[in-house]
Amino acid sequence: MSTKIFRDPLYNYVAIDRDRDDWLLDLIDTAEVQRLRRIRQLGVSHFTYPGADHSRLSHTLGVVHLMQVAWRHIETLERGPDVERAKHPLLAAAVLHDVGHGPFSHLFEPALGIEHEKWSCEILQNPDTEVHQKLTEHDIPVDQIVALIQKDNHDRPPWQKTLLSSELDVDRLDYLGRDSFFTGAGYGHFDWYRILNSFALQMTDDDFKILVWPEKAMYAIEEYIFSRFYMYNQVYQHKTTRGFEKVIHAAWRRATDLRIDGRDAWLVREIAEFLDARPPTVKYYLAMEDATLVYQMQVWTRHPDPVLSDLARRFLFRDRLCVLNDPVAEAAVGDERTRWESELARVVGAEDFDANYYMLRDDLKLTIYNPYIPEKEEREQDPYNAIMIQPDQGGKPREISTILDRLATVTGVREKRFRYYVPDECRDKARALAESRNW
């Protein structure tokens, strides 16, 4: 037996059996998967946490490792051709679930109006990609992998989909641990091995087979939920990181507005080709990587438009905007946000900044990362909104926070909704306005 070993800081060894799973190595070696080396896992979090330079590829290999661990456990639970046929699509989906990420991972999605999941599926289905060719060569059904990756596609059995994407899945288990390790934030310690070696496959009243966990796994899951809460607050929603994301979006918006006005936005070739293609193609999409966007920012620092060049300079040289917490009264049905924002825009405009690009609102709910907030009504609970524990004494599975009361401190927490970013030059007046509540 020959084994391919990847050294990994989380799991030490990620091992793939060459004799049995050579197809998996072929898939990892494709151009589209290797491109993930050049996409940062955490976008611009390295502006806040200098160590957070890890790539989507390292996360992908981590997800493959955890899927292998979960699969070995499944083989102890169930046997048979149906289960065996699920193995290759699940492992392939683990490799390919993030293959459609654009520059700086999630950061570029709102700017370009793209969803990485959609592009992942396009890449799988496009006959010109190496990924598609390798899947076909090894008789791995592309449509099954697409069904596993697409959020709203329910053609694959629920237990298979939820292994990859649910409230407790191999994707989250890896990225929480990995992002914690590389940021140095240190919150991502939980017993993933127990979580992946203790679940059971159980039929629901509605005849769905789902994953449930025994009580003995409860404390490992509790650690995971706390870890997710801390990472959400300390890393994924960090005000500095989010501020630079807003600066990129503002620069992008400015460049788009210049193009609409018929002016040359000095787009680098890879981005221009993608935007000009009708419809956008996989080939052009894959040509955009982190370095493309960094180079675009470098180019924009020399652009004659003062707004575009200033925003690009702020991004490249880490010149932060000032953050303001949301001052709008919270306990109201209809809020005063419109009036607050128009007054804040006036303050920003008075300092000769165009509020369209320098008064930046961060909607904290519009994020790919979120803490665990379960659905509490049993007749609406499923693995996509609740982690279910099978009580030792029998009966129906219960959502974990109904068993461990202390989880309510992190599962029922009201989230902050908005932050605002303005240039430092406006800071004092903007803060005075916020405190005066005079709008």
Partner 1 sequence: MERYHLAKLVQFAGTLRTRKALQKVVYLLQSAGCPLEADYSLHYFGPYSADVARLTDEMTQLELLKEEPVANPAGQQFNYELTPRTQVQIRSFEATPEGKAAAAVFSPFEDLARELVRVEPRELELAATVAYFKRCQHNWDEAVAKACDFKRVNQDSPQMQRAIALAERVVPSET
Report, in Å, the least distance between residue 434 CB and partner 1.
Answer: 19
Report, in Å, the least distance between residue 338 CB and partner 1.
Answer: 6
Q: 3-state DSSP call for residue 431?
A: helix
Stretch that binds partner 1, among 16-24, 65-73, 141-149, 378-386 (CB under 8 A): 378-386
Asked if 152 is part of the footprint of partner 1 (rule: CB under 8 A), the reply reads yes
Binders of partner 1 in range 338-357 (CB under 8 A): 338
Distance from C-alpha of 94 to C-alpha of 98, rounded to nearest angstrom = 8
**Amino acid present at 73:** H
Asked if 51 is part of the footprint of partner 1 (rule: CB under 8 A), the reply reads no
Q: Phi/psi zone of residue 318: left (φ > 0), alpha (ψ -120 to 50 degrees), beta? A: left
* From 139, 207, 392, 435, residue interacting with partner 1 (rule: CB under 8 A): 207
Nearest to 309 by CA among 284, 200, 317: 317
Stretch that binds partner 1, among 116-124, 236-244, 316-324, 334-342 (CB under 8 A): 334-342
Beta carbon nearer to partner 1, 75 or 330: 330
**Amino acid present at 364:** L
Asked if 369 is part of the footprint of partner 1 (rule: CB under 8 A), the reply reads no
Report whether 58 contacts 125 (CB < 8 A): no
Nearest to 147 by CA among 129, 122, 127, 121: 121
- What DSSP state is assigned to residue 105? G
**Lookup: tokens for 288:** 């955009």
- Write the interaction track for partner 1 spanning residues 404-433; mark x where CB under 8 A is met and - where it is not: --------x-xx------------------
Report, in Å, the least distance between residue 378 CB and partner 1.
Answer: 4
Cα dihedral value 299, 271, 114, 23, nearest 10: -120
Asked if 365 is part of the footprint of partner 1 (rule: CB under 8 A), the reply reads yes
Beta carbon nearer to partner 1, 397 or 423: 397
* From 8, 17, 351, 382, residue interacting with partner 1 (rule: CB under 8 A): 382
* From 349, 375, 404, 439, residue interacting with partner 1 (rule: CB under 8 A): 375
Report whether 184 contacts 49 (CB < 8 A): yes
**Lookup: tokens for 226:** 């706390």
Report, in Å, the least distance between residue 332 CB and partner 1.
Answer: 6
Q: 3-state DSSP call for residue 201?
A: strand
> At a CB cut-off of 8 Å and minimum separation 6, what does 351 contact?
423, 425, 426, 429
Residue with tokens 């996360």: 59
**Lookup: tokens for 316:** 């490249």
* From 209, 346, 376, 429, residue interacting with partner 1 (rule: CB under 8 A): 376
Residue count at the site for partner 1 (CB under 8 A)?
31
Stretch that binds partner 1, among 85-93, 191-199, 202-210, 253-261 (CB under 8 A): 202-210
Asked if 151 is part of the footprint of partner 1 (rule: CB under 8 A), the reply reads yes
Is the Cα torsion angle 349, 352, 357, 360 positive or negative in sign?
Answer: negative
List residues binding partner 1 (CB under 8 A): 151-152, 154, 158, 204, 206-208, 330-335, 338, 365, 370, 373, 375-380, 382, 384-385, 396, 412, 414-415
